[in-house]
Every structure is written in C-alpha cells, then in structure tokens.
Amino acid sequence: MGVMNRVQGLVIVGTVLLLAGCAAQPQYQMIKKGVMPEERVQDDAHCQMQASYIQAADWEYRGTFMEGVNIQQKRQQTYTYCMSSKGYSSIRVQ
C-alpha cells in the first residue's frame, strides 16, 4: 500500500509540474500586415485543419504519458509553419 501511495504522489507531482510549465509558456499570435480579417480567418482555419491531421506521436513518446503533449507540440509546429508559409509572423502577446 505504501508503494502505491508513493506512485500516486509522483503522478500528482508530475502533473502539477507539467501544468505549471504549460501555464508559464508565453503566448504568441500570428500577424500579417495588410491582411483583411476575412482572409486571416480563412488562413487560420486552413492551418488549423492541416494541424488537426497530426494524429500520432513520435515513436519515442508512443505509449507514454507524454504522447498527448508530443502530438500537441507537433500540431502547434505544423500550424506555425503553415501560417508562416502564408506570410504571417509570430509575435509574443504575453
């Protein structure tokens, strides 16, 4: 029973640290001078769709508790690359 309590404690501590790390991440926004709001919405939707196609984690993360985080990171990179290819730049907003 003592080992189980330690494992549960480690899981809780790990989760808290992961959430704290996520909360501390700066926020960014994609901007492009001269773009109309309708075009920005279309570009954003297109890149969000492209990012949503990422469904698998890298092999070293498969089956681990970091699998979801890895997929989310890959989706964010795909979105950023897509928007950059359309002429957008990333600026820090927080």
**Of 58, 54, 59, nearest in space to 79 by CA:** 54
Q: Which residues of the chain have pLDDT under 50?
A: 1
What is the reported pLDDT for 93?
Answer: 84
**pTM score, whole prediction:** 0.68
Q: CA 80 → CA 31, 46, 60, distances in Å?
A: 11, 12, 23
pLDDT (0 to 100) of residue 6: 62
What one-character-per-residue DSSP string does 31-83 give? E-TT--HHHHHHHHHHHHHHHHT-----GGGTTSTTHHHHHHHHHHHHHHHHH
Cα gap 39→54, rounded to integer Å: 24
